[in-house]
Chain A
């Protein structure tokens, strides 16, 4: 009795207010939802349907079989290989750089972060062009350094995998540095001090305390640069040779040069699936990291 009395009183206007807030929410969210449904979700699904259709409209897996044989299969392997090499180098460079920056005084650290962030906002095309100038036969690297200190210069640093990995790594590096810097700043220095007070040497502290704490961050940073490299082709197309063709480049060629939309769609779906697998791994690693942190805290 008392309960019904109290609930009929103030509940109704509150409910009214809540429903108004829900209606306002839906109304305000409408532009972004409609926009992305029409220009993002629908195009992705039409890509998926196209990859499964024959010229006469019947269903087929032909385009996937085509994507996974011969030259197309080797493009897939090249993409995985270059992405893995890029991820490895940007992870190692990113780890060293983020670690060094996290030890700097605020002003110097800010300055160093500026050198990391500013290139990130300069078109990858422009930065790739910078590498083409740098790594050419008469470029700064060959003339300025190799010629002086190493015999046998000029070295072929362009239009092969060396050039591609150098260029792509410099494009992916800002992502890993930013991610790892955040992770390293989050490490509780008192844990390191505690280990030292118990007599652990610096190598032991690094291996047994620091590394396990940053490991999930390292894994996600590596996976992120791997995923980003999978769909990338600006630098490989400009700095590589025919053996460095990547999936994204193949999609472009199939649409622009061969008018082969179905094949391009199948390649796109394969790329999408690889990306989803990578993202799933990132999620798994970060949830593992969170549970590890909880365990060490308890």
Chain B
């Protein structure tokens, strides 16, 4: 009896504390979205007067936000393309071939994820400054790819490992060439993973701050650097609106990944179901 009561009380306390910690994670985000619709960006909460003013200011004449936004989109698109090329080839090497020094290559790929981003940023600055490439979208995109490509490689290695190689072998045994196998079998099955890799590369580059700050120049500033400058030098209330847009964007991107994964999970099963239905792929099963 005593034991039961203490368990219940303990559970209530644990749930309450956990809820407070969840609020701790969610509150800063909720507050920005709500504040972006209020008249006073630094004033009382919840706002007394609701307005869309800060969203209008974002795209008004003389605003720095459109240029920063378009630079970030351009850089993220370039970086996503680079990451996909590197990711697909590297994942193929790591899962579908015999690679000498495989673990060394793995360590190299994981390196940028393990060492402090500020050190990577400093190194890239030392590389691009003498080449007078600071402020170049290409240089910033090449820099972001250092952080985005390892994530793409990891996602695509997991994707290729998850694809049943017997499907590729079966196609080969029926006379399909390597290109046909890649185009008709591997690519359609890997597509969800590739879309996920693309989205995560895009987010990584779009949100990246340290490398952008080191590689940007006065006239070419990415969105995160512009947000940082707005928060440190000139407190600009419209920063709430751009922040709220970024929040919406991140949630949308994650929902897209979830959707793609959900659609993709059915695909390989439907291909495999042919052989499960005929009983070929059930070792030890009754039907042969």
**Which chain A residues have a beta carbon within 8 Å of chain B's beta carbons?**
18, 21-22, 24-33, 35-36, 39-44, 46-47, 50, 93, 96-97, 99-101, 103, 112, 115-119, 121-134, 136, 138-140, 143-144, 170, 173-174, 202, 230-231, 233-234, 237-238, 247-248, 251-252, 255-256, 261, 264-265, 268, 271-272, 275, 279
Decide if B116 touches A173 in the complex (CB within 8 Å). Answer: no
Decide if B32 touches A173 in the complex (CB within 8 Å). Answer: no
4 closest Cβ pairs, A-B complex: A231-B116, A130-B28, A43-B123, A100-B18
Return B231 CB to nearest CB of chain A, in Å.
Answer: 6
Decide if A122 touches B246 in the complex (CB within 8 Å). Answer: yes
**B125 at interface by CB-CB < 8 Å:** yes
The CA of A174 and the CA of B239, in the complex, are separated in Å by 25
Decide if B90 touches A271 in the complex (CB within 8 Å). Answer: no
| Chain B, residue nearest A238 (CB) | B231
Residue picked from A30, A122, A131, A132, most chain B C-beta under 10 Å? A122
| Chain A, residue nearest B248 (CB) | A122
Decide if B120 touches A121 in the complex (CB within 8 Å). Answer: no
Return A23 CB to nearest CB of chain B, in Å.
Answer: 8
**B272 at interface by CB-CB < 8 Å:** no
Can you sample 22 A-B contacts with CB below 8 Å? A29-B105, A31-B89, A35-B82, A118-B250, A118-B254, A119-B29, A123-B209, A130-B30, A130-B31, A130-B32, A133-B28, A133-B45, A134-B28, A134-B45, A144-B45, A173-B21, A173-B24, A173-B25, A248-B118, A252-B213, A265-B122, A275-B116
Contacting B126 at CB < 8 Å: which of A18, A46, A116, A131?
A46
Give the interface SS of chain B, mostly helix, strand, loop or mixed.
helix
Decide if A118 touches B251 in the complex (CB within 8 Å). Answer: yes
Decide if B99 touches A25 in the complex (CB within 8 Å). Answer: yes
Chain A residues with CB under 8 Å of B243's CB are 125-126, 129-130
| Chain B, residue nearest A249 (CB) | B118
Chain B residues with CB under 8 Å of A22's CB are 97-100
Chain B residues with CB under 8 Å of A264's CB are 122
The bracket for how many chain B residues form the interface is 35 or more
Decide if B32 touches A100 in the complex (CB within 8 Å). Answer: no
Decide if B119 touches A272 in the complex (CB within 8 Å). Answer: yes
Given contacts A96-B18, A130-B29, A143-B44, contact A43 B114 (CB under 8 A): no
The CA of A196 and the CA of B174, in the complex, are separated in Å by 59
Contacting B32 at CB < 8 Å: which of A47, A93, A126, A237?
A126
Contacting A29 at CB < 8 Å: which of B27, B89, B115, B123?
B89
The CA of A173 and the CA of B231, in the complex, are separated in Å by 23
| Chain A, residue nearest B22 (CB) | A115
Chain A residues with CB under 8 Å of B125's CB are 255
Give the interface SS of chain A, mostly helix, strand, loop or mixed.
helix
Decide if B122 touches A29 in the complex (CB within 8 Å). Answer: no
**Which chain B residues have a beta carbon within 8 Å of chain A's beta carbons?**
3, 6-7, 11, 14-15, 17-18, 21-22, 24-32, 35, 41-45, 82, 85-86, 89-90, 92-94, 96-100, 105, 108-109, 111-112, 114-120, 122-127, 142-143, 145-146, 149, 153, 203, 207, 209-210, 213-214, 224, 227-228, 231-232, 239-240, 243, 246-247, 250-251, 253-254
The CA of A22 and the CA of B254, in the complex, are separated in Å by 37
Decide if A46 touches B119 in the complex (CB within 8 Å). Answer: no
Chain B residues with CB under 8 Å of A230's CB are 116
Decide if B118 touches A21 in the complex (CB within 8 Å). Answer: no
Given contacts A25-B99, A134-B31, contact A40 B146 (CB under 8 A): yes
The CA of A157 and the CA of B124, in the complex, are separated in Å by 36
Given contacts A24-B97, A25-B100, A231-B118, contact A33 B124 (CB under 8 A): no
Chain B residues with CB under 8 Å of A126's CB are 29, 32, 227, 243, 246-247
Chain A residues with CB under 8 Å of B227's CB are 123, 125-126, 129
Chain A residues with CB under 8 Å of B213's CB are 252, 256
Chain B residues with CB under 8 Å of A122's CB are 29, 246-247, 250
Contacting A25 at CB < 8 Å: which of B93, B116, B120, B203?
B93
The CA of A238 and the CA of B28, in the complex, are separated in Å by 15
